[in-house]
Structure 1
């Protein structure tokens, strides 16, 4: 679903990473690992085609993708329902019932119509993660998806990732925690460039 060859990125006169090559196939989860400032988010944005920085190497995406960034892209003046309708409008015509089901799946039942600026940081994150229940893209690129969610939310997210992988999807993510899914889990170490 995704191939990258010999990726390298220098920023501010500092080499963040080099010689990064990987293949992500259907049913696989690849976790990008590295210290803070190692370039995990920069690599993920390169792989998503969203990088603002010049880099060397090649990326080939062979499947439609969904990208969720580290910061929740939730508009405070919109309700959770309106945020999701706006986000998914370019990908598919999800019904109000589907959006409500996605919000319920992430524990936001009853919050569908409140202004999002009244929600906590964790609830903002859950609004963003509800997109995982609406997306039909087979390739998911997720930047720190476990940030600001509680243990119940972590378990629900791991279950959703496992469902997506079981349906033939693929996931590439950054996270500082171990991800528990019953599917092939590989790690890409930015310091060494090794994919294991």
Structure 2
């Protein structure tokens, strides 16, 4: 353990997992594990099942076959994951701070205060602005602030760097690295390169469309 570790040791383990929509399978049988302090990158062409795999792990879509489990999780400790999809889920008529405050109230204000989280993602001066005026990149930064205000060990990220500039890409790296330092684990589907300071903390799994 490190001095920053706040999560118990957890592992996400999948065996023979097949993901799809309806009765159509999008992945082969998948066997993988992600342990505390590590990140799994999902690569593959459009339609190869990256988003569907994340939705399956989030409990939104039922698996077609196989099993997966977050081992070591305590049900009494509450929800264990954040799913950050490619849509930012922002209410345009609420301010930036109100949007993030809403998510803190829904998910539990167990992490940073709203103002501090906005500073972390580069939106510290925009808290009073209606979120509808944010650019696409700023909207993505606001979505990335949600896991900061509510601590949960497993992050499921769908294209976390979408619409972000170079500084935004660096932000994703810092947020991931900090989360792994705390004993968290992450799975990220992305077409963009993501490199952590310690490459040994990251693995890649390539998904291929089934014939």
Same fold (TM over 0.5): yes
Matches within 5 A, 1:1-196: 1-11=11-21, 14-51=24-61, 55-62=64-71, 63=73, 64-93=80-109, 98-183=113-198, 184-191=201-208
Sort the Cα spacing of 1:13 and 1:61 in 2 relative to 1 into closer, same or farther, 3 A: closer
Q: What CA RMSD, in Å, does the superposition of the two structures yield over aligned residues?
A: 2.1
Gap regions ≥5 residues in structure 2: 1-10, 74-79
- Give 1:61 deviation, angstroms: 2.2
- Give 1:12 deviation, angstroms: 6.8
Sort the Cα spacing of 1:47 and 1:5 in 2 relative to 1 into closer, same or farther, 3 A: same
CA distance in 1, matches of 2:149, 2:20: 36
- Contact residue 84 and residue 156 of structure 2 kept, 8 A: yes
- Contact residue 85 and residue 94 of structure 1 kept, 8 A: no
Gap regions ≥5 residues in structure 1: none
- Contact residue 20 and residue 190 of structure 1 kept, 8 A: no
Give the structure-1-normalised TM-score. 0.89
CA distance in 2, matches of 1:104, 1:153: 13
- Give 1:14 deviation, angstroms: 4.7
- Give 1:101 deviation, angstroms: 1.1
Secondary structure, counterpart of 1:32 in structure 2: strand
Secondary structure, counterpart of 1:89 in structure 2: helix
Q: What is the count of residue pairs matched by the alignment?
A: 191
Give the structure-2-normalised TM-score. 0.83
Sort the Cα spacing of 1:144 and 1:107 in 2 relative to 1 into closer, same or farther, 3 A: same
